[in-house]
Amino acid sequence: MTGLTARFPSLRAFGYPAYVRIWFGAFVSNVGTWVQAISIGVYVAETTGKAGWTGSIAALTYLPMVFLAPLGGALADRVDRRRIIVPLTVAQALGSTTLAILALVGHLPLTWVATLVFLNGCASALSAPAFNSLLTEIVAPEDLLSSVSLTSAQFNLARTIGPMLAAAILTTGGITFAFATNALSFLGVLIAVLTAPRPTGNPLAPVGGLWRGILDGVRVARIDPGIRLALPLVLAVAVLIAPFIGLMPAYAIKALGSDTADASRLAVAQGLGALVFAFTANAVAVRWGVRRLMTYSLLALAPVTAAYWLAPTYRLAFLALSLLGGVYIWTLTALSTTCMGRVSRERQARISSLYSVTLSGGYAVGLVLQGWFADRLGVRLVPTVAAGLMLAIVLVLVQRKAFRAIEASRPFGPLAEGAGAGPSVAAADVSE
**Where do the DSSP E strands lie in 226-298?**
none
DSSP conformational letter for 403: G
Q: Collapse the DSSP code of 139 into the 3-class scheme (helix H, G, I; strand E, B; otherwise coil) and give the result.
A: coil
Give the amino acid at 47.
T
Query: What pLDDT does 394 receive?
Result: 93
Domains and CATH numbers, the chain: 4-196+209-431 (1.20.1250.20)
Give the amino acid at 42.
V
Between CA 99 and CA 121 the distance in angstroms is 14
Provide the 10 A C-beta neighbour count for residue 431.
9
DSSP conformational letter for 400: T
Between CA 284 and CA 295 the distance in angstroms is 13
One pLDDT digit (tens) per residue for the chain, 432 residues: 445 555 556 677 787 888 888 888 888 988 998 888 888 877 887 777 776 676 677 777 777 777 777 777 777 767 777 888 888 899 999 988 998 898 888 888 888 888 888 888 888 878 877 787 777 677 776 677 677 777 777 877 787 788 778 878 887 878 888 889 888 998 888 888 887 766 554 444 454 566 666 677 778 778 888 888 889 999 999 999 998 887 777 777 777 777 666 776 777 787 778 777 776 776 777 777 778 888 899 999 999 999 999 988 888 988 999 899 889 988 988 888 888 777 776 676 677 778 877 887 888 889 888 888 888 888 888 899 999 999 999 999 999 888 888 776 666 655 344 333 332 222 222 222
Query: What pLDDT does 15 receive?
Result: 79
Between CA 419 and CA 428 the distance in angstroms is 16
Put simply, whether the predicted model's pTM sits higher than 0.75 gets the answer: no
Cβ pair 128, 72 in contact under 8 A = yes
Query: What pLDDT does 417 receive?
Result: 40
CA 364 to the chain's CA centroid = 13
Chain segment 74-101, per-residue pLDDT in tens: 777 677 778 888 888 999 999 889 988 9
Q: How large is the C-alpha radius of gyration of the chain?
A: 20
Cβ pair 199, 134 in contact under 8 A = no
- Cβ-proximal residues to 47 (8 Å cutoff; 6+ apart), any chain: 110
Find the angle CA(298)-CA(301)-CA(304) to the nearest 5 degrees. 155
Chain segment 22-40, per-residue pLDDT in tens: 888 888 988 998 888 888 8
Query: What pLDDT does 303 receive?
Result: 95
Cβ pair 230, 291 in contact under 8 A = no
Cβ pair 19, 5 in contact under 8 A = no
From residue 343, alpha-carbon distances to 84, 147, 337, 423 in Å are 22, 16, 10, 10
Cβ pair 351, 230 in contact under 8 A = no
Exposure class string for 177-190: b at 16+ Cβ within 10 A, else e: bbbbbbbebbebbb
Between CA 305 and CA 39 the distance in angstroms is 24
Cβ pair 244, 430 in contact under 8 A = no
Query: What pLDDT does 393 receive?
Result: 95
